Amino acid sequence: NRHGEWWKAVSLVTNKEGFIPCNYVAQADTIETEDWFFKDITRKDAERQLLAPANKPGSYLIRESETQKGSYSLSIRDFDANGTESVKHYKIRMLDNGGFYISPKISFSDIGALIKHYRNKPDGLCRKLDRACVKPKAQKPWDKDAWEISKDSIRMVKKLGAGQFGDVWLAYYNNLTTVAVKTLKPGTMTVEAFLDEANVMKTLQHDRLVRLYAVVTKIQPIFIITEYMSNGSLLDFLKSDEGCKLQLPKLIDFSAQISEGMAYIEDKKYIHRDLRAANVLVSECLLCKIADFGLARVIEDDEYSARE
């Protein structure tokens, strides 16, 4: 049974049932079992993942070609002519007899043998392969029926920030799932107005939108439970030591990621109403996601009303 990034599975040894990350399993005896193979990933997302802080020059991955069905590409983290970290891409071509090659001067029986060769020496590539790209951690599955949850199921851990309308906390749901909790000050909005809007917000699912998991509305203050983004807001991250070191290509990529999310919101005939760096969150691997979409519509405040 598949559930987003997590699949329900049964252990053949213990017969126990549980959820497992879909990117941790693959059909036996296929390329998908290799740690260096990334299925269903675009060229651009390959670059984003390889340039994430967890990876270093020489990190690599194999992905399916976007332009040629059934073909593969090798992506390697390296440097460009200006010394800026970048990603180089190489087409892996197939022989009629089923072999594979990047350079015609040497071919391999399978991609595993190709990887082994280029781990020993670059042999025409930008550098020799070092280690496979670190795969991003899948978010723990969320019970789709757990929408209005008990306040007792949330354990606050650390206050992350405070704003005009409430605070943001790092928390645990049922002591298992790491989440972010936004508490809204009493009087910020009516429960009825918030629930109407939240029911629409939870239907918006996209890789560039922060996931809205659940709410607590029976007791004030209202809690909004979302996925946790470890680098906080884009506004604060750009002021941090790590953020200050980012170069123009990465900043442009941030803009592109945000645009992807906004294009999705527009496609769904929805309006954010308050897009700014403080409402964009950054993950551990430097992926941007838009937050607080829809809240501006229901917050009872003159400043927001004036923007209608």
What's the fold here for domain 6-132? Answer: SHC Adaptor Protein (3.30.505)
pLDDT of residue 273: 83
Highest mean pLDDT of the ranges 141-155, 242-256, 283-297: 242-256
Class of domain 142-307: mainly alpha
Lateral strand order in the sheet of 154-163 = 154-163, 166-173, 177-184, 222-227, 212-216
Provide the annotated binding site for ATP. 182
User: Is residue 6 over pLDDT 80?
Assistant: no
Q: Please enumerate in sequence order all residues whose Cβ is within 8 A of that of 168, keeping only pairs 6 or more positions apart, or say none.
A: 159, 160, 161, 162, 180, 181, 182, 183
Instruction: Kindly indicate the confidence band of residue 306, based on its pLDDT and cuts at 50, 70 and 90.
Output: very low
Could you state, in order of their start, the residue ranges of all structural domains in the chain? 6-132, 142-307
Question: Out of 2-6, 9-13, 152-156, 271-275, which region has the weakest mean confidence (pLDDT)?
Answer: 2-6
Per-residue pLDDT, averaged over 6-22, amounts to 76
Q: Check if the beta carbon of residue 19 is closer than 8 Å to that of residue 97.
A: no
Catalytic one of 80, 274, 292, 301: 274
Q: Give the N- to C-terminal CA distance of the chain in Å, as an integer.
A: 44
- Do 88 and 76 form a contact (C-beta atoms < 8 A)? yes
Q: What is the largest CA-CA distance in the chain?
A: 72
| pLDDT mean over 190-208 | 81
Mean pLDDT of the 179-194 span: 82
Residue 52 near residue 230, CB atoms below 8 Å: no
pLDDT tens per residue, range 64-91: 998 888 899 999 999 988 888 999 999 9
Our answer to whether residue 274 is catalytic in this structure is yes
Are 225 and 181 spatial neighbours (Cβ–Cβ below 8 Å)?
yes
Please state the residue numbers annotated as binding site: 182
